[in-house]
Amino acid sequence: MTALLDLLDLSPDAIRQLVSLARELEGRKDLTHLKDQVVGLLFMNPSLRTLVSMQTAVAHLGGTSVVIQPGQGSWKLELRDGVVMDGDAVEHIREAMPVLAQYVDLLGVRCFAEGKNLADDLADQPIRAMAEHFGGPFVNLESAASHPCQALADWKTLDDLGIPAIGKFVLSWAYHPKPLPFAVPQSALTMALLRGMEVTVLRPPGFDLPGGVISQAVAAAAKGGGTFHETADRSDALEGAHVLYAKSWAKPDVYGDPEADRIAREPYRDWTVDESWFAPARPEAKFMHCLPVRRNIKVTDAVLDGPRSIVVPQAGNRLHAQKAILAALSEGGLR
Ligand code: CP
């Protein structure tokens, strides 16, 4: 496989091998996997962790990176097929991707959800089209429906802490002032199920995961041996939990209507993770979040600054995980 678009495309054994490779390469800055290679990093949306950890990973592997930010120094890109391009976008991915393929040896792309049509966003067509038009080694740096680099780093973080493969993983909705896409919640759920974990999805009534995310979860559970169920009961969800992973997501039945989502979200403003959430959990239970996180909106200062929070080493693992992905791609692909 020369393109990493979603963690579900890999077998649990292949993921374990990548995590092992990440551990082997961790701390090494003298590697040569990408010697004489140029990696393009195309960001249609902002980033701190992904941008800097990818550039650092490329440098540690002996390569060079080029950052492309459409609309901020390079042409704004059109993603849709068959449209009359009379808007802001002046270049189509059908030309831009094969052009880039002549310059760079590997391409990473960030392209978030449009946030208008749920089925379209979950189908993740733009990132798939870009990978196809590029035609060479390709890494998804967060698309509408998937964030595989984050998911691989999260898996390594759980391993680093000795969290059992069959441990209890709670993916919880938390309040956020805007409706957010499904890329991170879907990837965290996929990762935990592929790892074989007992997963509980905690969310307010009405914020049930949509059918497309459930289908992917069923496939991940079948592949990895994990189990999952959804609940709005916080005590039941956290009972005996090893990990609480917080994330917000849009209300599926009003997706694309921010005002309707805001009204539906309003009664759940108190879904801010604080220490009381952990009362039924294991005493050593950890708090995870992909970052960036809004303090005292999604999670309190006390939890983020306390011993439960592993968000900083979790972000550190982005670098190690991506070094493994890039090294594997440079050696002929992912299996
Ligand atoms: N978690 C994550 O992808 O962070 P950035 O948006 O800063 O890259």
Report which protein residue has its CA nearest ligand 1's atom 4: 49
Q: What is the biggest distance separating any 2 CA atoms in the chain, rounded to whole angstroms? A: 58
Nearest to 187 by CA among 223, 233, 214, 148: 148
Q: What number does the ligand 1 atom closest to the CA of 147 have?
A: 3
Q: Find out if CATH 2.60.40.1930 is the number for domain 3-147+318-330.
A: no
Q: Judge whether 76 and 114 are in contact, CB under 8 Å.
A: no
Question: Rounded distance, CA 277 to CA 272, Å?
Answer: 9
Among the atoms of ligand 1, which is closest to the Cα of residue 45? 6
Atom of ligand 1 nearest to the CA of 46: 6
Q: What is the dihedral of CA 231, 234, 240, 245, to 10 degrees?
A: 80
Residue 152's closest CA among 288, 335, 314? 314
C-alpha 49 – ligand 1 centre gap (Å):
5
Q: Is the CB of 142 under 6 A from ligand 1?
A: yes
CB of 123 closer than 6 A to ligand 1? no
Ligand 1 centre to CA of 52 (Å) is 10
> Does 125 sit in the ligand 1 pocket, CB within 6 Å?
no
For ligand 1, say whether the CB of 289 is within 6 Å of any of its atoms.
Answer: no
Looking at residue 325, its pLDDT comes to: 98
Q: How, if at all, do strands 3-4 and 91-92 pair? A: unpaired
Q: Give the pLDDT confidence of 26-50 residue by residue, as tens digits.
A: 999 999 999 999 999 999 999 999 9
Is the CB of residue 277 less than 8 Å from the CB of residue 244?
yes
Ligand 1 close to Cβ of residue 53 (< 6 A): no
Ligand 1 and 290: CB distance under 6 A: yes
Distance of CA 189 to the CA centre of its chain: 10
Secondary structure letter of residue 74 according to DSSP: B
Q: Do 3-147+318-330 and 162-309 come out as alike in CATH topology?
A: yes
Question: For a substitution probing ligand 1, which of 146, 157, 247, 290 has the most ligand atoms within 8 Å of its CB?
Answer: 290
Domain 162-309 has CATH 1.10.730.10: no
What mean pLDDT is predicted for residues 280-295? 98
Regarding the beta carbon of 319 and ligand 1, being less than 6 Å apart is answered no
Tens digit of pLDDT for each residue in 104-152?
A: 999 999 999 999 999 999 999 999 999 999 999 999 999 999 999 999 9
Helix %, strand %, coil % of the chain (to 5): 40, 15, 40
* CA pair distance 130, 79, nearest whole angstrom: 8
Q: What is the pLDDT of residues 235-277, one digit of tens each?
A: 999 999 999 999 999 999 999 999 999 999 999 999 999 999 9
Mutate which of 50, 147, 317 for ligand 1? The one with the most ligand atoms within 8 Å of its CB, which is: 50
Output the pTM of the full model: 0.98
End-to-end C-alpha distance for the chain, whole angstroms? 6
Does residue 53 contact residue 318 with C-beta atoms inside 8 Å?
yes
Joined together, the tokens standing for residue 41 give 């990093």
Output Rg (C-alpha) for the chain, integer angstroms: 19
Ligand 1 and 52: CB distance under 6 A: no
Give the start-to-end residue ranges of the domains of the chain.
3-147+318-330, 162-309
Query: Residue holding tokens 């973080």?
Result: 157
Q: What is the pLDDT of residues 293-307, one digit of tens each?
A: 999 999 999 999 999
Q: How far apart are CA 247 and CA 218, in angstroms?
A: 20
Tell me if 50 CB under 6 Å of ligand 1: yes
Rounded to the nearest angstrom, the distance between the alpha carbon of 298 and the centre of ligand 1 is 16
